């Protein structure tokens, strides 16, 4: 689980850097703003979920 989590998060982080140049190079209408906010939200939600459910700090 830990390895899968790390791999997914690293892929999401890499996409924040690479995707704008590969997929949104011509975008001008706010797509980039939506993309970066959406991925950041995904990374943050996954991190909190991981800490609570997997890393074991949900119970105090």
Least distance in angstroms from the C-beta of 18 to other proteins = 9
Q: Is 47 in the site for other proteins (CB under 8 A)?
A: yes
Least distance in angstroms from the C-beta of 35 to other proteins = 9
41 burial via Cβ count (<10 Å: 0-12, 13-18, 19+): exposed
50, 56 in Cβ contact below 8 A? no
Residue choice 4, 9, 11, 23 for contact with other proteins (CB under 8 A): 9
Q: What is the distance between the alpha carbons of residues 43 and 10, in angstroms, rounded to a whole number? A: 9
Q: Is 56 in the site for other proteins (CB under 8 A)?
A: yes
């Amino acid at each position: 689980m830990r390895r899968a989590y790390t791999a997914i998060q690293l892929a999401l982080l890499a996409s924040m850097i690479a995707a704008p140049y590969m997929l949104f190079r011509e975008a001008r209408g706010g797509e980039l703003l939506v993309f970066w906010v959406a991925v950041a939200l995904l990374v943050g939600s996954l991190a909190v979920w991981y800490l609570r459910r997997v890393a074991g700090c949900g119970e105090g």
